[in-house]
Amino acid sequence: MELEITITSQELVKPSSRNLNHLPCHHHLSFLDQLSPPIFMPFLFFYHNKTNLSDKERSDHIKSSLSEILNLFYPLAGRIKNSGDVVMCNDVGVSFVEAKADCNMSQILENPNPNELNKLHPFEFHEVSDVPLTVQLTFFECGGLALGIGLSHKLCDALSGLIFVNSWAAFARGQTDEIITPSFDLAKMFPPCDIENLNMATGITKENIVTRRFVFLRSSVESLRERFSGNKKIRATRVEVLSVFIWSRFMASTNHDDKTGKIYTLIHPVNLRRQADPDIPENMFGNIMRFSVTVPMMIINENDEEKASLVDQMREEIRKIDAVYVKKLQEDNRGHLEFLNKQASGFVNGEIVSFSFTSLCKFPVYEADFGWGKPLWVASARMSYKNLVAFIDTKEGDGIEAWINLDQNDMSRFEADEELLRYVSSNPSVMVSVS
């Protein structure tokens, strides 16, 4: 269905009582932050109305708790300056939008359309400008609500973003002992440098991107793990097998082969917190991750042994991001910048065809209880990236939703692939799993 949204109010929510004389007026972004793309990360939470509170009372509750938690996460109320190198912690405030939808929430959940869900966010993902955080609260006719949160990727990765969201929720429900106090010292560990010649917007596109949601039930995931694990003592993980499966079906359905001279890559983010020596504290706020790049040794066909081999290859590339790798990033980042420039150049020239995966699996996305229960559903949205897959656990935690962003022509072939359809449910009702 086509979703109609009416904006009812817009305002800036400021920290309630932060003393500017005792906290830094600038937050310097780290080298890792500098390397992050200028986009918003979308988090979209759906909630039943389990209270007798009015829309205004729930809105006031969300805004007042946001104002309080911004005292701890104060850079999110500032503005990004100097070409994305520093955040002015000036308490300008968080962009907060309220809206009403012309339907019941069940109409969205019965047939969720990823390309319509963007209307529940107050931004376009590629139009970050200088704002670190945006929020939209949308009320449905039934009393349910959707909370759309956009965090600038220039300030944090998904794990840091969820630390903020869940700390905000903990304050809202009165469990202040569950709030995590953030540290904003990442730039001391990874000092910023001059990246003027590196375009971090490479890959962002505004045209012809279609997003589809595919759900892999537990039985399908386990079947693929069995197929692609080969004779390994350590079985392939869920994300490993789904990455290989989705990429192989994309290659087969869109008739890509290795005769074009192009280089195909599979890209996965790797959390650096436990790769470093010593570990980086869990409360450190920022982009504490880098990407593994796997160049498949062959264009795999229907052979499961080849897919198992690609799982091994991906795993080996991820292993390379270790304590030695992290130390090199901290001490001499020139080699890494040269590699990124080469990758960006190859992408722009059409020599490299990248397929990127990001995963929120096992992340605490369903813990965001603002006082009226945990979310009914947590969703992604349409992203402005070609060949991007986002994995999210189903609410039960045993299946995986794959939100896949492809060129329109590629998607029409991909979603009709018979082998793919053997393993997925294409955009099933959310109500089936939450009723």
Superfamily of domain 5-189: Chloramphenicol acetyltransferase-like domain (3.30.559.10)
pLDDT tens digits for 183-218? 999 999 999 887 766 666 666 777 789 999 999 999
Instruction: Assess whether pLDDT exceeds 80 at residue 16.
Output: yes
Confidence band (pLDDT; 50, 70, 90) for 73? very high
User: Is residue 308 a contact partner of residue 57, using CB atoms and an 8 Å limit?
Assistant: no
Predicted confidence (pLDDT) at residue 20 exceeds the cutoff of 60: no
Predicted confidence at residue 366, as pLDDT, reads: 96
Q: Per-residue pLDDT tens for 287-303?
A: 999 999 999 886 656 67
> Which of the four pLDDT bands, split at 50, 70 and 90, describes residue 259?
low
pLDDT score of 13 more than 90:
yes
pLDDT value at residue 195: 74
CA distance 368 to 165: 7
**253 pLDDT higher than 50:** yes
Strand 209-216 with 400-407, pairing: antiparallel
Question: Would you list the domain boundaries of the chain?
Answer: 5-189, 209-362+383-426
Give the pLDDT score at 433.
46
State yes or no: pLDDT of 420 exceeds 50.
Answer: yes
Asked if 5-189 and 209-362+383-426 have one fold, the answer is yes
228 in Cβ contact with 244 (< 8 Å): yes
Mean predicted confidence (pLDDT) in 102-126? 88
pLDDT exceeds 60 at position 434: no
pTM of the shown model? 0.92
Q: Give Cα separations from 48 to 45, 51, 58, 96, 109 (angstroms).
A: 10, 9, 12, 21, 12
Give the residue numbers marked as catalytic: 153, 369
**Above pLDDT 70, what percent of the chain?**
88
Residue 84 vs residue 50, higher pLDDT: 50
Least confident of 4-8, 69-73, 182-186, 429-433: 429-433
DSSP assignment, residue 281?
P
Checking if the pLDDT of 381 tops 50, the result is yes
Q: What per-residue confidence (pLDDT) applies to 201?
A: 61
Residue type, 290: R
Which CATH homologous superfamily contains domain 209-362+383-426? Chloramphenicol acetyltransferase-like domain (3.30.559.10)
What per-residue confidence (pLDDT) applies to 349?
61
For residue 435, what pLDDT is reported? 38
| CA nearest neighbour of 218 among 376, 65, 28, 397 | 397
Cβ contact 182:72 at 8 Å: yes
The predicted pLDDT at position 397 comes to 84
Q: Which residue has the tokens 């304050």?
A: 171
> What are the tens digits of pLDDT across the range 116-147?
999 999 877 666 678 999 999 999 999 999 99
Kindly give, in sequence order, each residue whose CB lies less than 8 Å from that of residue 185, ignoring residues fewer than 6 positions away.
284
What pLDDT is attached to residue 38? Answer: 83
Q: What average pLDDT does the segment 385-393 reach?
A: 93
In whole numbers, what is the pLDDT of the chain averaged over residues?
A: 89
User: Considering just the CA atoms, what is the radius of gyration of the chain in Å?
Assistant: 22
pLDDT at 384 over 90: no
419, pLDDT greater than 60: yes
Please give the full DSSP string across 151-191, using - where no structure is assigned.
Answer: EETTT--HHHHHHHHHHHHHHHTT-GGGPPPPB--HHHHS-
> pLDDT digits over 303-337, tens only?
778 888 899 999 999 999 999 999 988 887 777 77
pLDDT at 258 (0 to 100): 57
The string of pLDDT tens digits covering residues 230-240 is 777 788 999 99
Confidence of residue 256 (pLDDT cuts 50, 70, 90): low
